Amino acid sequence: MFKSSVAAETLPSELVDRTEVILLQQSDPVLFSLFERAEKGDERFFVKPGVLVRTWYDKFTRPECSRPTIVVPTSLRLKVLQYAHAGHLGVGKTRSSLLQHICWPSIFRDTKNFCRHCDICQRLGKSKKPVTAPLQRPLVSKALAPVATGSVGPLPGCTESSNRTIPADVLVPSPVIEEFEC
């Protein structure tokens, strides 16, 4: 579906307004079943001033913290994927940026296929994990040398524990303290 770059050139590059989105959604046969679900009172789908919207929340958020996302018609999906994948950050980050604002029935599969067929991504390949410097404690050159301690954070929660900070020690050379040493 997304292998051809000719299809990308035929899509308009300008923005699409609300009335065009409404018309494209209503004429898209893939979205007919979603409109029916909205009409039947499905809590996940509803029509908000003419635009088909889905209530979205991930497995980490509560349902009451859900947010509405616009359901993208088939004719606009390629352009949306091109915008979302402009940084060539891979399947996960592209999908994550899409899911914050929009959705469609096959968004996971389409994003994966689009990223896997991206010419630039295929040429560059996956980036290797960056080599991290080993953590080293500062060497104290003198007894009772001043050392500043603290923590770095808050960081995203750890999956194994609820720790959100990292302890940090720094050797602080202070000429004022050194002058008064015995």
For 122-177, the pLDDT digits (tens) are 888 776 776 676 666 656 566 556 666 666 666 666 566 666 666 665 555 554 44
For residue 1, being part of any structural domain is answered with no
| 75, part of any domain | yes
- In one letter, which amino acid is 1? M
Most confident of 44-58, 70-84, 120-134, 158-172: 70-84
Answer yes or no: do 97 and 172 share one domain: no
Do 39 and 104 fall within a single domain?
A: yes
* DSSP conformation class of 31: G
Residue 129 lies in a domain: no
Mean pLDDT of the chain: 75
User: Do 157 and 182 share a domain, yes or no?
Assistant: yes
Pair (31, 80) in one structural domain? yes
What is the DSSP annotation of 127-178?
PPPPPPPPP-PPPP-STT--EEEEEE---PPPSSS----EEEEEE---HHHH
The count of domains in the chain is 2
Q: Which domain holds residue 156?
A: 134-182
Same domain, residue pair 167 and 81: no
Share of the chain above pLDDT 70, in %: 61
